[in-house]
Structure 1
């Protein structure tokens, strides 16, 4: 019975993920949307010695990196879409559009790896990231740009640290290659947003 409910849960997550991948840019969520904690819980009970429906082809820490990277990447896209519409500063708007493009591409690459390894990824950003987006959305037009830029500087510093740690300590070759390939882009984002922040003072 436990095995059956796990398979059903994974099927729902997979369907939600496909809907999220192909669906529009709406920020709405539904009852089947899985966040990071749910994905981590599903991955935790998978057998690491086998692959297929019940098995997972990576170490638990590697799976956690994948869920964290997916969570952050989806949040970057969601907040980037908001900033593309709401930002006043032209450079901030350009940066936001770049976030949607670059993180959207990285998310798709990570999704392909996860599919091969049978890693369940979140289908929407976690509560903290959703709250951050809601807080930004509530900002007045004049306050939005600074708040978004500050969030991007902070977020990219944390993401760089997470990716660098995984490049050193991760075990799965495909996930490590993804982290190594993506890291220079994230560092480029940080340099760019820091330059924008400096220019806004």
Structure 2
């Protein structure tokens, strides 16, 4: 009985620490409006930027004229935000690890895009872009409002308008293809 109580107590103590990481992965934090931890924010932003750059490079080769224009802007903008994030971390203003490769979920999406052509590529690409930018807007809004690192919080707030514009562009692209 004491052992069970001890295990239960340990779980209660550990749950808040684990909640942000698990919540960010599952979208629970976004739905609840919970501010991500700094480490989670940095990880999600870095992976998002890598996915944006790689998926849009594919669109520059496989997409329609409108998708190629959109993709060129996304590669430029997300390369810039990726560089800015790396500077914040390497400059010591943010203490976090920046992942160097995509997580399995984003690798899977990228692999799917690589295997598609024509209208199938366009439909999947635009859907992924809308979803990715909705997630990014939510992530940056939540960190910009409640993040615990002042420099990163300021950067998130400064970057948010561009991400909202990207979402609008992706939504227009999606509507034009339907």
TM-score by length of 1: 0.67
Distance 2:37 2:177 in 1: 39
Matched, 1:186 2:134: no
Whether the 8 Å contact between 2:49 and 2:82 is mirrored in structure 1 is: yes
Distance 1:122 1:192 in 2: 27
CA distance in 1, matches of 2:100, 2:108: 16
Q: Partner of 1:106 in structure 2?
A: 81
Matches of 1:167 and 1:196, distance apart in 2: 27
Deviations 1:124-156 (A, max 9, x none): 111111110000111122311111001101111
Match of 1:177 in 2: 154
Q: Which residue of 2 aligns with 1:64?
A: 40
1:83 to 41, 56, 59: 59
Runs of 4+ in 1 over 2 A off after TM superposition: none
Q: Which runs of 5+ in 1 are unaligned?
A: 1-39, 41-59
Q: CA deviation at 1:99?
A: 1.0
State the secondary structure of the residue aligned to 2:37.
helix
Larger radius of gyration: 2
- The alpha carbon displacement at 1:97 in A equals 1.1
Does 2:67 correspond to 1:95?
A: no
Aligned to 1:32: none
Question: Which ranges in structure 2 are unaligned for 5 or more consecutive residues?
Answer: 1-20, 22-35
Match of 2:29 in 1: none
- How far apart are residue 195 of structure 1 and its match? 1.0
Counterparts of residues 114-193 of structure 1 (less than 5 Å):
114-115=89-90, 116=92, 117-193=94-170
Q: CA RMSD in A?
A: 1.4
Which structure shows the higher helix fraction?
2
Aligned 8 A contact 2:47 2:99 in 1: yes
TM-score (structure 2 length as normaliser): 0.76
* 2:102 partner SS: coil
Distance 1:197 1:141 in 2: 14
